[in-house]
Amino acid sequence: MSLPEIALALLAAVAIVTAASALLVRELVHTILWIGIFFVDLAAIYFLLEAPFLGVLQLGVYAGAVTVLLLFGIMVTRKRIFSREAATGIGVAPLALAALTVVVLATALDELPSGNVPIQAYPPTALSTDLFGAHGPWLLLLGLVMLVSVSGAIWLVREGRE
């Protein structure tokens, strides 16, 4: 195995283990720790895929902002509606459904090229030219999504005097 392949195998293993641990550990603060590692690990995969801009974005938005948001949510609502998970058991039916999803998706592996495929790298400048040009409407829609979210979230959490 070449060096990038070993790195990919390691990063993939870490991603699956941290994702599963985040959902299975008993203490919610540990969950945040695991999910933080998971986000950083995915950023490393993006660097491996020669998408440095996305790697940095993943670090900033997911590993940074989203993790802190989730931690904040846990701190504020602690010992109220979500203390720790009441039951950490693993149901058979959900596990079977999740496993089935993976097996069904794996059927697509047959038709993909089996050997290694070279990775295409893109300069971030090309990314921005296109994103602010032909695909500008996506960003406009993202802006609308943010407008809706910010106004709605402010209304929900602002102290009302009714």
Partner 1 sequence: MTALPLGGFLALSSALLGVGLFGILTRRNFVLLLIAIEIAMNAAILNFVYFAAFAPVPALGLTGQEIAVVLIGFAATEVAVGLAIVLALHRLRGSINVAQATDLNG
Partner 2 sequence: MSFAGTVGPLVPEVIVLAAALLVFLLDVAGARRRELVGAISIAALAGALLVVLADLGFLPLAALRGLPPSVLNAVPAAGSAPLYTFGSLGLVFQGLFLLAALLVATASLSRASDERGAPIYYGLLLLATLGMLLVALASDLIFLLLAIEVTSLATYVLVGYTRRDARALEAAMKFYIVGALSSTLSFFGASLLFGAYGTTNLYALRAVAGSVGYPVLALLGYGILLAGLAFKTTLVPFHAWAVDVYDGAPHEVSAFLAGGTKKIGVFALFLVFLGPVLYVKAGGGSPFSGAPFDLGPTVQLTLAVLAVVTMTVGNVLALLQAEMKRMLAYSSISQAGYMLIGIAIGTSPALAGATLQVAAHVLMKSGAFLVVAAAAAIGVGPKIVDWQGLGTRRPWLAVAFALMLLSLAGVPLTVGFVSKFVLFSAAVQARGFFVWLAVAGLLNSALSVFYYARVLKVIFFEPAPGPLPARAGDVVGAAGPTPLGAGGIGYGRAVAIGVAAVLIVAIGLYPQPILGPIQSAAAHFVAGGA
User: Distance between CA 99 and CA 64 in Å, rounded?
Assistant: 31
Which partner from the list partner 2, partner 1, none does 43 bind, CB cut-off 5 to 8 Å by kind?
none
* Integer-rounded Cα radius of gyration of the chain: 20
| Interaction between residue 84 and partner 2 (CB under 8 A) | no
Least distance in angstroms from the C-beta of 161 to partner 1: 13
From candidates 9, 10, 16, 141, binder to partner 2 by CB under 8 A: 141
Of the candidates 85, 79, 47, which has an alpha carbon nearest to the alpha carbon of residue 63? 47
User: Of 35-43, 67-75, 88-96, 147-155, which part binds partner 2 (CB under 8 A)?
Assistant: 147-155
The H or E element spanning position 155 is: helix 136-157
For residue 159, what is the DSSP state?
P
User: Distance between CA 28 and CA 78 in Å, rounded?
Assistant: 9
Closest CB to partner 1 among 89 and 161?
89
| Interaction between residue 148 and partner 2 (CB under 8 A) | yes
How many Å separate Cα 23 from the centre of its chain?
A: 13
Which partner from the list partner 2, partner 1, none does 162 bind, CB cut-off 5 to 8 Å by kind?
partner 2
Which partner from the list partner 1, partner 2, none does 27 bind, CB cut-off 5 to 8 Å by kind?
none
